[in-house]
């Protein structure tokens, strides 16, 4: 029998660490105009999508990331009508956002049309409901250029980017956050994936310092996503409304009921509130950023 192919995640090569998947079957592989894309089947994780050597989505644990990126900012805000996703090509976050009745329009700005086309074929579970929804507005463009120029204003901005390499690098820059702050309504919130604090050690403090230069509140919340190895993923939080992350379980549960009480698998009102309780080593990184 031919030996099976193993595909490594190369994101932490500089730390001398790799997670490697044994591939059952490669479903698709290509070099897009912007990045290397590979989709394969894994016996535990189901379909696995990697971009430039970094895991993006797996069938088994996608719900954790997508629910926590969408429901936490929208329910913390309480009356989000205009939502912007930057990146998010697989449409997994969009699918969660559109479960909220309060959302009148969801704009998604994705740089790489081929990721969307590819998702339509291989992740119809995300793309079908999204493209069937009139509230969804897709723009193929660089997120940085879009937020720098648009006249539109958003209640929630979700930065569902790749890691800080390739086309995603600019989405981790201070000039990008400044451009986002320009197109946010009063009391709006921005969330952005900030990597795994135990590996990407300085990144979180730098991000928090940047948020605090632009917003009254810069913080993070956490979720545990098995294929984003390293324990907690930090999700950056930036807003001028300092009350947003202190809503009670009851307030969040009431808003969830009003939003339609759709089915979730990770997010609950209790998990929402608890996600802002940070393990000490992460809280210290946030505090370090706040002091800068």
- Please say which residue, 65 or 211, places its beta carbon nearer to ligand SAM: 65
Q: Please state whether beta strands 184-193 and 154-160 pair in parallel, antiparallel, or not at all (unpaired).
A: parallel
171 touches ligand SAM (CB under 6 A): yes
**Beta carbons within 8 Å of 50's beta carbon, 6+ residues apart:** 7, 9, 37, 38, 39, 56
**Residue showing the smallest CB distance to ligand SAM in the complex:** 89
Question: Six-digit token pair at 143?
Answer: 């997120």
Q: Which is nearer to ligand SAM, 39 or 74 (CB)?
A: 39
What is the H or E stretch that residue 95 is in? helix 92-97
- According to the 3-state scheme, what is the secondary structure of 139-179? EECCHHHHHHHCCCCEEEEEEECCCCCHHHHHHHCHHHHHH
Signed CA dihedral, 115, 117, 120, 122: sign only = negative
Smallest distance, ligand SAM to C-beta of residue 140, A: 9
Q: Which of 127, 162, 200, 239 binds ligand SAM (CB under 6 A)?
A: 162
**With respect to ligand SAM, which residue has the nearer C-beta, 63 or 290?**
63
Nearer to ligand SAM, 109 or 247 (CB): 109
Q: Counting contacts by CB under 6 A, is residue 230 touching ligand SAM?
A: no
Give just the sign of the alpha carbon dihedral 14, 92, 112, 37.
Answer: positive
Q: Which of 52, 112, 203, 217 contacts ligand SAM by CB under 6 A? A: 112
**Smaller CB separation from ligand SAM, 17 or 292:** 17
CB 56 within 8 A of CB 69: no
Segment interacting with ligand SAM, rule: CB under 6 A, options 23-31, 98-106, 139-147, 206-214: 139-147
Cite the active site residues. Answer: 160
Region 83-102 residues binding ligand SAM, contact defined as CB under 6 A: 86-90
Cα dihedral sign, 194-84-99-116: negative
Taking CB under 6 A as the binding criterion, the range among 7-15, 120-128, 157-165, 235-243 that sits at the site for ligand SAM is 157-165
Could you say which residues in the range 180-219 bind ligand SAM, by CB under 6 A?
A: 193
Provide the 3-class DSSP secondary structure of residue 203.
helix
Q: How far apart are CA 288 and CA 206, in angstroms?
A: 9
* Residue tagged 């759709």 (tokens): 262
Q: Confirm or reject binding of residue 50 to ligand SAM (CB under 6 A).
A: no
Among 78, 143, 210, 218, binds ligand SAM (CB under 6 A): 143
Give me the residues that bind ligand SAM (CB under 6 A), please: 56-57, 65, 86-90, 109-112, 115, 142-144, 160-162, 167-168, 170-171, 193
């Amino acid at each position: 029998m031919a030996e099976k192919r193993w595909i490594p995640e190369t994101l932490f090569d500089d730390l001398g660490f790799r997670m490697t998947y044994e591939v059952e079957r490669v479903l698709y592989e290509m070099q897009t105009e912007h990045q290397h894309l590979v989709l394969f089947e894994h016996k535990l994780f189901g379909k696995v999508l990697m971009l430039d050597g970094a895991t993006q989505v797996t069938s088994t644990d996608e719900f954790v990331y997508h629910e926590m990126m969408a429901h936490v900012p929208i329910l913390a805000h309480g009356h989000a009508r205009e939502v912007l996703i930057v990146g998010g090509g697989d449409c997994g976050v969009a699918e969660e956002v559109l479960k909220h009745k309060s959302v009148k329009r969801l704009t998604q700005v994705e740089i790489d049309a081929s990721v969307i086309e590819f998702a339509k074929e291989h992740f119809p579970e995300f793309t079908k409901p999204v493209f069937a929804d009139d509230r969804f507005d897709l723009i193929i463009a660089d997120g940085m250029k879009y937020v720098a120029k648009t006249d539109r204003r958003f209640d929630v901005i979700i930065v569902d980017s790749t890691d800080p390499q390739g086309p995603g690098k600019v989405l981790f820059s201070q000039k990008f956050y400044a451009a986002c702050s320009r197109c946010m309504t009063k009391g709006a919130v921005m969330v952005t994936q900030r990597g795994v604090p135990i590996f990407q050690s300085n990144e979180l403090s730098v991000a928090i310092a940047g948020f605090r230069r632009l917003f009254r509140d810069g913080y993070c919340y956490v979720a545990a996503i098995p294929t984003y190895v390293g324990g907690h993923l930090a999700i950056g939080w930036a807003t001028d409304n300092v009350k947003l992350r202190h809503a009670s379980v009851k307030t969040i549960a009431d808003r969830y009921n009003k939003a339609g009480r759709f089915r979730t698998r990770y997010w609950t009102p209790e998990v929402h509130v608890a996600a802002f309780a940070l393990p000490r080593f992460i809280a210290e990184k946030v505090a370090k950023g706040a002091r800068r």
